[in-house]
Amino acid sequence: MKQTPDIKPTATALLVAPAAILMFGVFVLPFVFLVVLSFWSQVPGSVGIDPTFTLANYARIIGDGYYLGGLWTTLWLSGLVTLICLVLALPLARWIVLHAKRSKGLLIGLCILPLVCGALLPTLGLVNLLSPLGFINGALKSMGLIKTSLPLLGNIAGVSIGLVQAFLPLMILPLISTIERIPHDYEKAAMSLGATRLVVWRRVLLPLMLPGIVAGSLLVFCASLTAFVTPQILGQGKVVTFASLAYQQAAMVLDWPFASALGMVMLLFLALAGLLGALVSRGLGRRT
Partner 1 sequence: MKRIACYAALTAVSLFPCLPALAQDYSGHTLVVGTWGGDIERLLREHVAGPLEAKTGAKVEFLLGGSGDRMSKMVAERNNPTMDVTFQNIYEAPAALKEGLVVAPDAALVPTAADVWAGMNDGCYAMSLVGLGIAYSKALFPEAPEWADLWKAEFKGKMAYAPYPSSEGDGMLAVAARIAGVDEHDPDAAFAKLAELGAPVLSYSSLDEVFTLMDAGEIAAAPMISGYVLSNLGNYEGIGFVFPKDPGPVLVRDMVCQVANSPEPELAKMFIDLALSVETQTAYAKELNFGPTNSKVELTEEEAARVINTPEEVKSLLQLDWSYIIEQRSDWTDRWNKQILGQ
Give the bridge partners for 41, in sequence order.
50
Q: Which is nearer to partner 1, 45 or 194 (CB)?
A: 45
Backbone angles phi, psi at 11, to 5 degrees: -65, -40
- The answer to the question of residue 40 lying near partner 1 (CB under 8 A) is no
Q: Which is nearer to partner 1, 224 or 232 (CB)?
A: 232
Q: What is the 3-state secondary structure (H, E, C) of 47-86?
A: CCEECCCCCHHHHHHHHCHHHHHHHHHHHHHHHHHHHHHH
Pick the stretch among 7-15, 44-52, 91-99, 193-201 that binds partner 1 (CB under 8 A).
Answer: 44-52
Pick the stretch among 100-108, 124-132, 208-216, 266-274 that binds partner 1 (CB under 8 A).
Answer: 124-132
Site for partner 1 in 66-105 (CB under 8 A): 66
Which residues have a Cβ under 8 Å from the Cβ of 214 and sit 6 or more positions away?
A: 277, 280, 281, 284
- The answer to the question of residue 127 lying near partner 1 (CB under 8 A) is yes
Counting residues that bind partner 1 (by CB under 8 A) gives 30
Burial of 245-283, coded b for 16+ CB within 10 Å and e otherwise, reads bbbbbbeeeebbbbbbbbbbbbbebeeebeeebeebeee
Binder of partner 1 out of 5, 18, 48, 144 (CB under 8 A): 48
CA 25 – CA 213 distance, rounded (Å) = 34
What character string, x for contact with partner 1 (CB under 8 A) and - otherwise, covers 218-257? --------------xx--xxx-x-------xxxxxxxx--
Binder of partner 1 out of 38, 42, 165, 178 (CB under 8 A): 42
DSSP state for residue 1 in the 8-state scheme = -
Q: Which is nearer to partner 1, 92 or 240 (CB)?
A: 240
Give the bridge partners for 42, in sequence order.
49
Interface contacts to partner 1, rule CB under 8 A: 42, 44-48, 64, 66, 127, 131-133, 149, 153-154, 232-233, 236-238, 240, 248-255, 258
